[in-house]
Amino acid sequence: MGIADRSRARFAYWLIAPAAAFMVLVHLIPTAAGMFLSLLNLNTFTFQRLFGAPWAGLENYDSILFDSANPLHSGFTNAASNTAFYTVWTVSLTLVLGLAIALLLNRSFPGNRVVRTLMLTPWVVPSFVVASLWQFMWQRDAGIVNKLLVDYLGFVDERPTWLLGENTMWAIIIPSVWRGIPFAMLIFIAGLQAIPPELHEAAAIDGAGPWKRFRHITLPLLRPLIAIQLLFGVIYSAYQFAIPYIMLGSNPGPSADLLMTLIIRQSFSNNLFGYGAAVSTLLMAAMFVWVAIWYRAFRRDLQEVR
């Protein structure tokens, strides 16, 4: 390595140092500490001793995953399946509707630029405002949703209850999708505009209809964008906290309790810190598995982009 190379490398290290320091101090060390806490029996009685709390080894994990007599086990499995349900529906609805709207708006029509810009508005509304707005809209008697469905349009006869019981899951999915669509649309429009129009023209001359062109030209070229949004969409949804917490409180009930609301409630309301840290670690492990699966499925697309 020559002197010039060494000075270049030293300069590069100085440039990455501040971001690296923040990463180590705020992310890496506290995460390692959090994983260590998951191996302790840390609760109300032992909290004063903190890192010196009694060693529990893998007991927390054992009772969460396998001890069917333990109420914490059923709480975990319920929240885990709710989180999977929430994530699958939120991500797939967001991507499908985002793509459909992108296709609809990526045509030339009067005012299309204004429409595209205004369409971004829901994404800019903060998620805690989204949650409080929809909590108001979902109210059984005073909410505008039931007013529309029952009183004004007459689609349903009985007023549905949204914030209690089975419907609560949809009461958090729908606002999440609503807030997510504009961003998906934005990314897809950028992708659609990068497709050379000649491809479609040539295929049209060869007699390919709109569906065939979408299926064999548009969709394959959008694959890298779908991949990147799937990756971050799943992680973001699996870690969703603000919407259920603001809309439904620290205990959203069995139908809408997500892993994040469960962890925060058990840790900070019930002081089960070791248990909370163990569930967090499992959630993180699940996300690593997801990234591995994702990487296997989309590796080829990533190479094409680079």
Footprint on residues 227-266 left by another protein (CB under 8 A): 228-229, 232, 235, 239, 241-242, 245-246, 260, 263-264
- Using CA atoms, how far apart are residues 248 and 252, in angstroms rounded to an integer? 5
Q: How far is the CB of 69 from another protein (least distance, A)?
A: 25
Contacts of 190 (CB under 8 A, 6+ apart): 225
Closest CA to 83 of 290, 205, 239, 268: 239
Question: Which residues in the 90-129 window bind another protein by CB under 8 A?
Answer: 101, 104-105, 107, 109-110, 112, 115, 117-122, 124-129
Angle (nearest 5°) at CA 171 between 97 and 85: 70
Angle (nearest 5°) at CA 169 between 168 and 171: 60
What does the per-residue mask of binding to another protein show for 165-204, with x meaning CB under 8 A?
-------------x--xxx--xx--xx--x----------
9 binds another protein (CB under 8 A): yes
Applying CB under 8 A, what is the total number of residues that bind another protein? 94
Q: How far is the CB of 1 from another protein (least distance, A)?
A: 10
- Using CA atoms, how far apart are residues 206 and 190, in angstroms rounded to an integer? 26
Tell me whether residue 88 or residue 190 sits nearer to another protein (CB atom). Answer: 190
Tell me whether residue 50 or residue 88 sits nearer to another protein (CB atom). Answer: 50
Burial 246-271 (b: 16+ CB within 10 A, else e): bbbeeebbebbbbbbbbbbbbbeeeb
208 binds another protein (CB under 8 A): no
217 binds another protein (CB under 8 A): no
- Using CA atoms, how far apart are residues 64 and 77, in angstroms rounded to an integer? 8
Question: Which residues in the 129-168 window bind another protein by CB under 8 A?
Answer: 129, 132-137, 142, 144, 147, 151
Tell me whether residue 69 or residue 289 sits nearer to another protein (CB atom). Answer: 289
Question: Which residues in the 28-87 window bind another protein by CB under 8 A?
Answer: 28-31, 33-35, 37, 50
With CB under 8 A as the contact rule, which of the stretches 17-25, 76-84, 160-168, 211-219 interacts with another protein?
17-25
- Write the DSSP assignment of 259-294 as a string of letters: HHHHHHIIIIIS--HHHHHHHHHHHHHHHHHHHHHH
| Both structure tokens of 6 | 């060494």
284 binds another protein (CB under 8 A): yes
| Both structure tokens of 77 | 């499995």
165: left (phi over 0), alpha (psi -120 to 50) or beta: left
Tell me whether residue 107 or residue 296 sits nearer to another protein (CB atom). Answer: 107
- Using CA atoms, how far apart are residues 207 and 212, in angstroms rounded to an integer? 10
Q: How far is the CB of 63 from another protein (least distance, A)?
A: 18
Q: How far is the CB of 31 from another protein (least distance, A)?
A: 5
Q: How far is the CB of 290 from another protein (least distance, A)?
A: 9
295 binds another protein (CB under 8 A): no
